[in-house]
Structure 1
Amino acid sequence: MTKTNNLANKAGLYIHIPFCASKCYYCDFSTMPYQDKRIDEYFYYLFEEIKLLSMDWQGFEFDTIFLGGGTPNYVPSEKIIQLDKLIKSRFNISEEIEYTIECNPEYLEENKVKDYLNCGINRFSVGVQTFNDSILKKLGRLHTGEIAYENILKLKALGVENISLDFIMGLPGQREDSLLNDLSIIKDLDVNHISYYDLIIEENTRFNFEFKKGNLNLPSEDANRKYYHEVISFLKNIGIYQYEISNFSKPGFESKHNLKYWHTLPYAAFGLGASGYDGSIRYTNHHRYKDYINSIKQKDAPTEIIDNLSNEDRLFEKIIMNMRLIEGVSTKELAEKFDYDIWKDNTELIKSYEKNNLIRVFDDRIAFTDYGFDISNKFFKDLLI
């Protein structure tokens, strides 16, 4: 696979670390729970993949790094230190780097955090999901609300300034009082970034099995939308503003790495099941561990999917991804990059959504309102490209 060689390009770097202590009941990510004996082997082949393919990205300056998983802070921090050294020896890393590591609360040990800080990691994304202990058990999570709370305070005491917390709404047994309690604790912790995702029942998960048996006591769709708007309002009142469907931050603390996804900008990706994009080609690495390491043994890129996007594909993706953002999509940019006038065949559609306060039209932009996000899928289905 050939990457665009353009020194003016900036890109993100995603590294997938699949190890976990156990599998959460809702998770369908590419993970390797109960596989500690393979940590050394995996990192060996991950490093070989980076050595093999890093030259494809020499035309880019990387201004974001994201270590995701899995649970990156589950593995020994020596592995993260080794990975960091390799990254910095193989890629052109910006001095103004946003450097994120995903963490589970129960493994935020002081020595690990200090090692991460010494590597230059400056953003910690902590998977809390909820502070409600009974719901955490239903999710298969290993931490308690107290452990999450205390270890987030520990991060702050160790000098971590940029902390993001991940939560899920629509959880089994979740009621409004539980949601409001989570929001109250968020206010008390005073962090810079919050992600609030809807629970999705994925096919290859324990939750899907329980859902089909009728064993999941999930909030209704109406209740879930009410919760969503309560989150938006509450966080706004404490100075944490929505900038994307599921993401909120204090001004200046938006996730620069995730913005690359939503602005359809390039990002390199390495590791089991990792997906990357160079501006025209999307690729996904093998999800099966054996296939992944066998490809690298043969000095081949460990990709199982390569998608060379057509101009129409990139246009539609641009609209969908940009409209996840509060700022919406620029009609001027669509015209300049794709020679496309979104108004030509969609004037009636856009105007009807605007009339019903579901879409905002301002300057050269089209964006969903808070309530417009609730029906975004219908809008994209009706949109003519």
Structure 2
Amino acid sequence: MKKLGLYVHIPFCERKCNYCDFYSLVKTDEIEANYIESLLYELKSYKEVTKGYIVDSIFIGGGTPSYLRPDYIGLILDEIRNNFVLSEDVEISMEANPNSITLEKAKLYKKYGLNRMSVGIQSLDNKILKLIGRLHTSDEAINAIKILKKAGFTNINADVIFNIPGQNVENIIDTLSKIIDQDVNHISFYSLKLEQGTPMYRMEERGEISLAEDEEERAMYYAGRDFMEKNNYFQYEISNFSKKGFECRHNIKYWIGEEYIGFGPFSHSCFKDKRYNNISDIRLYCDNIKNPTKFRHLNEVLNIDSKIFEYIMLRLRMNKGFTLVDFKGKFNLDFEELYQDKIEKLVSLKLLIFQNGSVCLTKKGMDVSNYVFEEFLE
């Protein structure tokens, strides 16, 4: 059976963070109930078209899934089990904000079958947390990890953001050190990018804040990367580090080009050689749930050229890259012959390396990965 990943978007937040441009809104009981009813219907609608597939990863993201009534998480997972074939070792992840985690909720999540939690810590500096609009404190973040462990979770990710105005290398190491002391299994380590329309973007426009210069931003990244690797958190993708055996299966699915289906507004899918997304409007989504043409947009039918480029771009995000044998088997083409000039240029610039039949980015190449990808796009 073909492998399949499922992403479920929960578009509710208690309050939107100052840097966030994801689709989310404050919920009412009525909107929440209507949304869950529509979401369950969309899940059910895929029962027939996913025959021959086995789901090995489920990711409930947002928004703030832990802001949702916990019994709704149970309903969502029950509906998935009723309509999809799940592997015995399926990875079931959910995002949570520290201030919305309680022991009672955590125990229910465990009961419903969640086996991986991703905690949006971002920073353990209270001044930084206030600037970016987070609702939790440093102490609450650490306590959230302890609560999840007490409830029986052994697979926990911590999200960390660097390059926030006011941060420096010492600040980053302090946050990572405290998280590592809690013995989590995985750390996502992302550089802040200010998106147009967000409060922090407008603050930068007004000159109230400024992001670090490129050299300082890279210094934070290098320091964080080296510190995590010294503490046995191994980099397996540009922004992701884990202990051995705790790599995020769902995210790897994106990077190796496996199929996935997204549910709910703002979600994206890559299924049966088509890329499509649901509209970012909960009311239009709910009002038209029985007529997908009204809320689902086809973005692209993947042809051989786009498949090759996506394969290269996504696989090179991972430390191990890809093998020449796998490329040949997938596309019946020789990678070295196809991109001879590009390869020679990128190798000479020390951005790309060939070893043991594999091709991958160097650490320098990871710094300018978009440049490398653009070379192959041309």
**Same structural fold, with TM-score higher than 0.5 when normalized by the shorter chain:** yes
Distance 1:345 1:12 in 2: 31
- Check 1:380–1:40 CA distance in 2 against 1; reply closer, same or farther (3 A cut): same
* Aligned AA (1:16): H
Of 291, 295, 310 in structure 1, the residue corresponding to residue 288 of structure 2 is 295
CA contact (8 A) 2:309 2:376 kept: no
SS at match of 1:33: coil
Offset, 1:37 = 4.1
| Alignment-derived partner of residue 3 in structure 1 | none
Distance 1:83 1:148 in 2: 26
* Aligned AA (1:206): P
**Deviation readout 1:178-233 (Å, 9 max, x if unpaired):** 11111211221111000001111112311221222222232211111111111111
Asked if 1:203 is matched to 2:196, the reply is yes
CA contact (8 A) 2:93 2:115 kept: yes
Distance 1:299 1:135 in 2: 41
| Alignment-derived partner of residue 5 in structure 1 | none
Offset, 1:69 = 0.6
**Deviation readout 1:268-293 (Å, 9 max, x if unpaired):** 21111111111411110111223212
Offset, 1:94 = 1.1
Of 298, 313, 321 in structure 2, the residue corresponding to residue 328 of structure 1 is 321
Instruction: Say what the alpha-carbon RMSD is for the aligned residues.
Output: 1.7
Of 358, 367, 371 in structure 1, the residue corresponding to residue 360 of structure 2 is 367
CA contact (8 A) 2:268 2:278 kept: yes
Q: Could you list the runs of 5+ residues in structure 1 that have no partner in the other structure?
A: 1-7
SS at match of 1:125: strand
Asked if 1:96 is matched to 2:80, the reply is no
- Check 1:27–1:36 CA distance in 2 against 1; reply closer, same or farther (3 A cut): farther
| Alignment-derived partner of residue 61 in structure 2 | 68
| Alignment-derived partner of residue 216 in structure 1 | 209
Distance 2:77 2:228 in 1: 34
| Alignment-derived partner of residue 57 in structure 1 | 50
- Check 1:364–1:91 CA distance in 2 against 1; reply closer, same or farther (3 A cut): same
Asked if 1:150 is matched to 2:143, the reply is yes
Offset, 1:36 = 5.0
| Alignment-derived partner of residue 80 in structure 2 | 87
- Check 1:334–1:108 CA distance in 2 against 1; reply closer, same or farther (3 A cut): same
Offset, 1:309 = 1.2
| Alignment-derived partner of residue 101 in structure 2 | 108
- Check 1:342–1:110 CA distance in 2 against 1; reply closer, same or farther (3 A cut): same
- Check 1:112–1:308 CA distance in 2 against 1; reply closer, same or farther (3 A cut): same
* Aligned AA (2:50): W
CA contact (8 A) 2:169 2:219 kept: no
Distance 2:349 2:266 in 1: 41
TM superposition outliers: structure 1 runs of 4+ over 6 Å: none
TM-score by length of 1: 0.94
Aligned-residue sequence identity (percent) comes to 35
| Alignment-derived partner of residue 11 in structure 1 | 4
Query: Once structures 1 and 2 are overlaid, which stretch shifts more, 253-262 or 43-52?
Result: 43-52
Offset, 1:10 = 1.0
**Deviation readout 1:283-329 (Å, 9 max, x if unpaired):** 10111223212321446573123421111011101100000000112
CA contact (8 A) 1:17 1:68 kept: yes
Of 115, 135, 139 in structure 1, the residue corresponding to residue 128 of structure 2 is 135
Asked if 1:26 is matched to 2:19, the reply is yes
- Check 1:297–1:383 CA distance in 2 against 1; reply closer, same or farther (3 A cut): closer
CA contact (8 A) 1:265 1:279 kept: no
Q: Could you list the runs of 5+ residues in structure 2 that have no partner in the other structure?
A: none
**Deviation readout 1:112-139 (Å, 9 max, x if unpaired):** 1111101111000011000011011111
**Structure 1 segment 232-243 matched on structure 2, within 5 A:** 232-243=225-236
Distance 2:272 2:348 in 1: 35
Distance 2:377 2:298 in 1: 27
CA contact (8 A) 2:309 2:377 kept: no
CA contact (8 A) 1:53 1:301 kept: no
